[in-house]
Amino acid sequence: MVQRWFLGPGVQRKQIREGRVRGALFIPPGEGPFPGIIDLFGSTGGLVEFRASLLATHGFAVLALAYFAYEDLPDKLLELDLEYFEEAANFLLAHPKIQRPGIGVISASKGAEIELAMACYLKQVVATVCISGSNAILEIPLRYRDLLVTPMHFDWECIQIHVSGTVRLRSGNRDSRNEMNQQSVLPVEKAQGCILFIVGEKDECLNSQACAEQAMDQLKSHGRSSGKMLVYPGAGHLREPPYAPLCFASWSPALPRPVLWGGDPVAHAAAQEHSWGEIQKFFRQHFSGTGSKL
């Protein structure tokens, strides 16, 4: 799956095939250096570019990164190889128009789970925006060098079918606070940078609010004040930039039925508009004073 959006004035787009890294890099107009951000999407795979393109119009250099179901990458996501994402981070930092020493990451859903792992284990990540994500590894194991994080699995017997015929995955979520599941919980207290959690109260795919609350509790219990959480009443799981329509449910390649994402149209739209401004503000705050051209 490849999705593209328009390029803003002066923004340059370059297709990326460096080592294993596959994606598209968007560079704002000007000499730079610019804050570098990796943009990931969720379990649909492919290369999704529209958010990266939009962020580039606001002065960020953004790598829209594919990690499966694209070109010569694996067709299916059977394991999360964090070294691939580390390679992408190093590639971005080596670019002459990217400011150093660190990068930001933004993602939603499965991608937010991956980027939270990046924040925990990769020193290159200094600012992370997690949208509707889990604080634990779900369904697919995560590997990084000699480390293997085993996943929690959905309780498929508890999965509910909505009146619309869609699958309500939230009902099958395991409790990441349960002692039996601690091997899957990410050590957010090890993150060297700051993390912004963005969640909706009507997320029907994942109890992302509970996940973010646990992550915030982990940070506080270790004396860390590097986390912030934005909770939006009425907002669902799929959070896009402003003025994108609510996607209440859609087909997922991994399931035989459409997945229920949730959200009230008016409240969700308001959440998308407000959170978009907060995302930019967060990145500007954490890249300010480091030589960026914002």
Q: What are phi and psi of 144, to 5 degrees?
A: -145, 105
Q: Is residue 146 among the annotated active site residues? A: no
Q: Is residue 275 among the annotated active site residues? A: no
Q: Is residue 203 among the annotated active site residues? A: yes
pLDDT bracket for residue 171 (50, 70, 90): confident
Reply yes or no on whether the pLDDT at 154 is more than 60: yes
pLDDT bracket for residue 2 (50, 70, 90): very low
Convert 153-174 to b/e letters by CB count within 10 Å (16 or more is b).
Answer: ebeeeebeebeeebbbbbbebb
How is residue 177 written in tokens? 């606070």
Reply yes or no on whether the pLDDT at 181 is more than 60: yes
DSSP state letters, 14-47: EEEEETTEEEEEEE-SSS--B-EEEE---TT-SE
Q: Tens digit of pLDDT for each residue in 18-76?
A: 999 999 999 999 998 999 999 999 888 999 999 999 999 999 999 999 999 999 999 99
pLDDT (average), residues 197-213: 96
Which one of 43, 53, 107, 109 is the catalytic residue?
109
Strand-pair partners of 138: 152
pLDDT bracket for residue 289 (50, 70, 90): low
Secondary structure letter of residue 8 according to DSSP: P
Which one of 95, 237, 268, 286 is the catalytic residue?
237
Q: Global pTM?
A: 0.93
Secondary structure letter of residue 183 according to DSSP: G
**Dihedral sign of CA atoms 279, 280, 285, 289 in order:** positive
Could you tell me how many helices (H) and strands (E) the chain has, helices first? 5, 17
pLDDT bracket for residue 7 (50, 70, 90): confident
How many beta carbons lie within 10 A of that of residue 86, not counting itself?
A: 18
d(C-alpha 241, C-alpha 181), whole Å: 33
Which one of 53, 95, 184, 203 is the catalytic residue?
203
Please, is 37 exposed, middle or buried when counting C-beta atoms within 10 Å of its C-beta (0-12, 13-18, 19+)? buried
What are the structural domains of the chain?
2-287 (3.40.50.1820)
Cα separations in angstroms, 53 against 3, 157, 232: 11, 41, 25
- For residues 237 and 206, the answer to whether their CB atoms sit within 8 Å is yes
Region of 56 on the Ramachandran plot (φ > 0 left; ψ -120 to 50 alpha; else beta): alpha
Closest C-alpha to 142, from 120, 175, 126: 120
Reply yes or no on whether the pLDDT at 1 is more than 50: no
